Amino acid sequence: MLSLHDVSLISPNGNYILSGVSTIFPKSHICAIVGPSGCGKTSLIKTIAGIGPGFEKGLIYWNQQNLNEKDFSPTDLGYVPQFNITYPQLTARESVFFSLKLKLSASPSASLTTIVEQTLEKVGLLEVADVRVSSLSGGQLRRLSLAIELCQHPQLLLCDEVTSGLDPRSEIEILNLLRSIAHSTGCLILAVTHGIEHLAFFDSIVVLFGGHLAYHGPPQYLNHYFRIQKETELFDQLLNRSPEDWDKSWKKHHSSFLQQILPSQDSATLSTSSLTLSLKDTKPSLPQSRHLPATEDTPEIESLSPQPPPLPTEPSPCLPFAILRQTLTLLHRRLLLLVRDPSQVILHFGLILGFPAIVALFAWNGFPAVKNLSLGLDISPIRQFSESLEFLAQSSHIGTLVSGVVMLQVILLTLLGANNSGREISAHRQIIEKEKLSGLNPTALLLSHFFYLSIFSLAQSFWMGFFVRQISGMPGSFTSQLLFLVLSNAAMTSASLAISSWLDNPEKSTLASIYLVGFQLPLSGAILAIPEPIGSLIRPFIAAYWGWSGYLQTLRDERYYDIVVSIAQTTLSSSPLCLIILLSHIFLGYLFAWIGLRRFANVL
């Protein structure tokens, strides 16, 4: 049973989205939440789920458990938002399988397969189980969203506009399915709906108006209570009184209406002064709310129906093992999504092969040999002067070429890093927030991104370094050069991933990542030196400088190094320092990405 007591939701600007909502919902029950647009329907179920977009006030009890003390177990709660929470590249069967595996990471694969098949059959999707989500109809997509939640046998299912946009036949099929699930499994279903033509499918109706509770009772009493002839007149009738008046009227009559929807053995005491259902002589101790001190007269709840049969799971693993299982599942799914998207595969291969070719164009014939100056005493001063000018011109050309080739490799790899992760999280933020609500650990999500993006960093950096070395004859330690190329790519990859975790719009996160790369070349000092002390203040944040400087240090035993140093307007840093700074960039990037993944993004 679910009990709400004086539940309010206050927006960041101080307006009340919900105002003192108090009522009770039994199990094996399906309730419609209706009301005019902006009345707080979606906000109500979000507040119950613990993701209300604002400042929450009041108490919510679920099976005698105060949710301010202990939140829902991921297996207790199912949430179906307005949008489709699936990847279009996956099939219906894969969508349910991966969702279930993320929730039940300790279950054997054979058990998961059985549950997936049973769930798809229950929602009528078994015939299209191997059809990709992108090819499913609107009604099938709604059924799939339900299947993703129902595979866990939730005790409470929150549905937000689950029939929105469907044709009349599909809408009736979905409502019949929800009603059947509620009555056969003991599940409590709260369904937000704009349509009021099919209220007879529901066991009770909640009417919200201006954030206030105007009615909660059986559908057959709705017209009598509001003194209307048909349900379509409801919203017009609400406008005849203020939300506060409707709230006061409901509180005078709530006892008699709630007795009609609560099982007789569980409606023993319904107070007329405040909404209080007490099945025992003593009240529970009242813990503090998440936001404000707890109020008095809090309801005490008992379970009304037996729990659904337990899923065939093994004992819960320890947290590190559970995180590892989720990480591997997420990595498997991410690689599958990549393979299923030919345009992305072609793009990645094109960039991996094309960018090194651009660098190689500037050193296609290799680096020129450095000519020595004549040191004989028999050479005339004019010839010595001529050779000195020639040597300076050659040194300037060679130094610029070597430095430019190194910097171009680094800059292009940072651009690849931004492309790898600039929209990796923001493009899927809605699905991520939904899966977090279902028990996805942010640490597992970050680790899966780390391993997935590391594959690209290694492949892109290796081919860049190897191809350019083969074409230009770049001297020095290839292993050391490859290390700095990988770290430069990984530093920008982690920074762009952090941006993607904090911006919920993929276009904005991509643009911000590209801008970040754009600042790398001018602020690195590789072309024009930045005046001190500004350069010293800026340089620690420019990954390209440390990749460029560290790479050039691998040429320290070559004459090219002395030439580059002689023409470079920016001082080169030592290899250990470059290594430490780049590793710090990577660590901080993933740290901020982890913080961004942990935060609540109001996108559901």
Rg (CA), the chain: 32
Of 357, 313, 340, residue with least CA distance to 470: 357
Say which CATH superfamily domain 1-76+160-306 falls into.
P-loop containing nucleotide triphosphate hydrolases (3.40.50.300)
Burial (CB count <10 Å: 0-12, 13-18, 19+), residue 585: buried
Residues 345-366 as b/e (b if ≥16 CB within 10 A, e otherwise) read eeebeebbeebbeebbeebeee
**Every domain range in the chain assigned CATH 3.40.50.300:** 1-76+160-306
Please give the mean pLDDT across all residues of the chain.
86
In the predicted structure, residue 538 carries a pLDDT above the cut 60: yes
Whole-model pTM: value is 0.85
As a whole number of angstroms, the longest Cα–Cα distance in the chain is 119
Residue 303 confidence class, pLDDT cut points 50, 70, 90: very low
Region of residue 16 (phi > 0: left; psi between -120 and 50: alpha; otherwise: beta): beta
**Side-chain half-sphere exposure of 256, counting CA atoms within 13 A:** 6
Give the H or E element holding residue 274.
Answer: none
Answer with the residue of higher pLDDT: 409 or 373: 409
Burial (CB count <10 Å: 0-12, 13-18, 19+), residue 169: exposed
Question: For residue 295, what pLDDT is reported?
Answer: 35
In the predicted structure, residue 428 carries a pLDDT above the cut 70: yes
pLDDT tens profile 221-261: 999 999 999 988 999 999 999 999 999 998 888 887 888 88
First-to-final CA distance of the chain: 25
pLDDT tens profile 583-602: 999 999 999 999 999 988 88
Cβ(537)–Cβ(523) below 8 Å: no
Sheet holding 77-80, edge to edge: 77-80, 156-160, 188-192, 29-34, 204-209, 212-217
pLDDT tens profile 158-177: 999 888 878 888 888 889 99
pLDDT tens profile 470-504: 999 999 999 999 999 999 999 999 999 999 999 98
Sheet holding 65-66, edge to edge: 16-25, 2-10, 55-62, 65-66
